[in-house]
Amino acid sequence: MAASYTFSCDCGAVEFTVEGAPKVRGFCHCADCRNFLKVPYHSVDVWEKDQLTVNKGEDKLAEFQHPEKKMKRFFCSECGDTLFNSNSADWRVVSQLLVRRNNDGELPEALAPQSHFYYGERIVDIDDDLPKKE
Ligand SMILES: [Zn+2]
Ligand SMILES: [Zn+2]
């Protein structure tokens, strides 16, 4: 059976489940993530659109389309917490911080980061052993 993980926002109104292995897991240093999500870099687990199911509070799941880029933020209209965002491939990008928060502070081994990407666009240098891709 494929692994599945369930996540919810701060207030618990919205809940979603992802099923199967993520397409990508690591740290994105691109300027788009930084500017759209206001993070120095984004620690992510990324699934395809059809791997994600909203199982609670779909009517409370609001989305914001980036004015220029093919990116969206999906957030809870009750508490404002971001649940995931989408990228130009329409994949579902989940923060590893949300993964930890919904998993007793731990990041499951199957969701652990494997690399840094868009490292050439970084504003923070990272001193670890993971591969760094431009
Ligand atoms: Zn909420
Ligand atoms: Zn990015």
Number of domains in the chain: 1
Dist. CA 51 → ligand 2 center (Å): 20
For the CA of 77, the nearest ligand? 1
Is residue 79 domain-resident? yes
Is residue 127 domain-resident? no
pLDDT at 1 over 70: no
Is residue 14 domain-resident? yes
7-46: per-residue pLDDT in tens?
Answer: 999 999 999 999 999 999 999 999 999 999 999 999 999 9
Is residue 130 domain-resident? no
For the CA of 133, the nearest ligand? 2
Helix (H/G/I), strand (E/B), else coil: 79: coil
CATH number of the domain at 73, please.
2.170.150.70
Order of all β-strands in the sheet with 72-76: 61-65, 72-76, 82-86, 92-95, 42-47, 24-28, 115-117
For the CA of 44, the nearest ligand? 2
Is residue 68 domain-resident? yes
103-134: per-residue pLDDT in tens?
Answer: 999 999 999 999 999 999 999 999 999 999 99
Domain that holds residue 18: 4-121
Is residue 95 domain-resident? yes
Is residue 133 domain-resident? no
Is residue 131 domain-resident? no
Dist. CA 7 → ligand 2 center (Å): 21
Dist. CA 131 → ligand 1 center (Å): 35
